[in-house]
Copies of this chain bind each other. A is one copy, B any other.
Amino acid sequence: MTAQRRVVAEVLDGRHVHLTADEVHARAVAKLPEISRATVYNTLGELVSLGEVLEVSTDKRAKRYDPNAHQPHHHLVCAQCGTIKDVHPSGNPLADLPDSERFGFKVSDVEVTYRGVCPNCSAA
């Protein structure tokens, strides 16, 4: 656990938002100016492997990192401003996929993304 990794962990910790790798880097630099992009990417990759952080790809521009890895949840995205909210739908989408639609896959995970327009953007 080096100084650099601590900083990356601190950036994600607590603030329950969904940062891009670049944003993580920007905030890490604010705390530890000489940290490099490569290190941030390395560390994020390790956190993902450890299951401490989730990679989310709600848009195709950049990966986002979700510190809320320990509770299963899904995402609600504003189509206009890109805001992301965590949501907890009732029901289990995994159960909605009948065997006949599994094509022999071992299905292990589901990712649900709701899209819509947030109050802010629909007001504007």
- The count of residues in chain A whose C-beta lies closer than 8 Å to any C-beta of chain B is 40
When A78-B105, A109-B116 are in contact, do A93 and B96 touch as well, CB less than 8 Å? yes
Is there a chain B Cβ closer than 8 Å to A47's Cβ?
Answer: no
Is there a chain B Cβ closer than 8 Å to A118's Cβ?
Answer: yes
Q: Evaluate contact between A114 and B110: CB separation under 8 angstroms.
A: yes
Q: How many copies does the complex hold?
A: 2
Q: How far is the CA of A91 from the CA of B79 in the complex (A)?
A: 24
Measured between beta carbons, the chain B residues less than 8 angstroms from A105 are 76, 78, 85, 114, 116-119
Measured between beta carbons, the chain B residues less than 8 angstroms from A110 are 112-115
Give the 5 A-B CB pairs with smallest separation, nearest first. Answer: A107-B116, A104-B119, A89-B96, A91-B96, A105-B116
